[in-house]
Amino acid sequence: MKHITTAFLLAFTSQAAFAEPLTRDEAVNLIALGLGDDAVIAKIAAEKVDFDLSTTEMVDLKNRGISSAVIAAMISNRFVAKVEPSLDSPDPNVPHPAGLYTLLSADGVSRMQRMEPTVTNQAKTGGILGYALTGGLASMSIKATIQNETSRVPVSVSPKFYFFSGESNGDSSSAWASGNNTVVNSPAELTLIRLNRKKDRREARVGSMNIGGAKTGVMDEDRLEFSHSAIRPGVFVIEPSASLPPGEYGFIYSLAGGAAGGAMTARIFDFTVR
């Protein structure tokens, strides 16, 4: 008998845990049974309803003798299925945690991979000798350096990227942190660059100086064009304007400060074209 009782309780608990929301007919039938408003409202609050009430339907229910309190419970207890964000769904209409993703395909299967920014670990100065020998006529460059000769994110020559802001998941801030107390709201704040591959590292020029003055940020000749368009609020698709030759690349942001200071605050979403 004890085993039977235990089995019954487990079955009842399981059914309660996976209860379906009430349909309109079920809610109306409960009221027709004369259970009383308090019991019906408690049932609606516990299991929710799977329908919306139009103004006409509200009037119809009221004319059938259903109380305003029960009608209000039906309106305020609409069941909304919770959708968990995905890290790899290839569908940009599926919620994803905020960030930058690349779309990968292998064996006919597509998936998204979230790209984590690589932090600059060194700032270097190049061309000092030429700058000194020419009295500043030749330029001296500032380079941001990231570790490893190649990225762990391989893409095709015509890659596609997706940008998800907080807004895409209902976050009113609509931005995600990029480090160094800055935020990124759209792909327009990113710069696509080609990285120079060196032994044990990759480099990006983020400043230059000569007798005529100094520049900070990515050099114009190092920028690569890309387009971006909104798919839905907070979600953008990003595509380079031309096919990318094999090599090392990255989307760079957060150059707060000039010269070496800017280089040391850089964050780069790096990838490699093979």
Residues 114, 207 share a domain = yes
Residues 135, 242 share a domain = yes
pLDDT score at 122? 64
In a domain, 153, yes or no: yes
Residues 53, 156 share a domain = no
20-24, 170-174, 218-222 — most confident range = 20-24
Q: What is the mean pLDDT of residues 194-218?
A: 76
In a domain, 85, yes or no: no
* 156-204: pLDDT as tens digits: 999 999 999 877 776 655 556 554 445 677 888 888 999 989 888 888 8
Nearest in space to 192 (alpha carbons), one of 158, 227, 165: 227
Higher pLDDT, 119 or 198: 198
Residues of the domain holding 124:
99-273
pTM: predicted TM-score of the whole model, two decimal places: 0.63
Higher pLDDT, 28 or 122: 28
In a domain, 152, yes or no: yes
Exposure letters 49-62 (e unless 16+ CB within 10 A, then b)? beeebeeeebeebe
- On average, the pLDDT of the chain sits at 78
Out of 61, 76, 91, pick the residue that ends a domain. 76
pLDDT score at 49? 85
* 222-271: pLDDT as tens digits: 889 999 999 988 899 999 999 999 999 999 875 554 444 444 466 889 99
Q: Count up the domains in the chain and report the number.
A: 2
Residues 71, 105 share a domain = no
Residues 269, 156 share a domain = yes
In a domain, 231, yes or no: yes
Residues 104, 65 share a domain = no
Residues 263, 153 share a domain = yes
pLDDT score at 182? 54
Exposure letters 140-153 (e unless 16+ CB within 10 A, then b)? bbbbbbbeeeebeb
Residues 141, 267 share a domain = yes
In a domain, 240, yes or no: yes
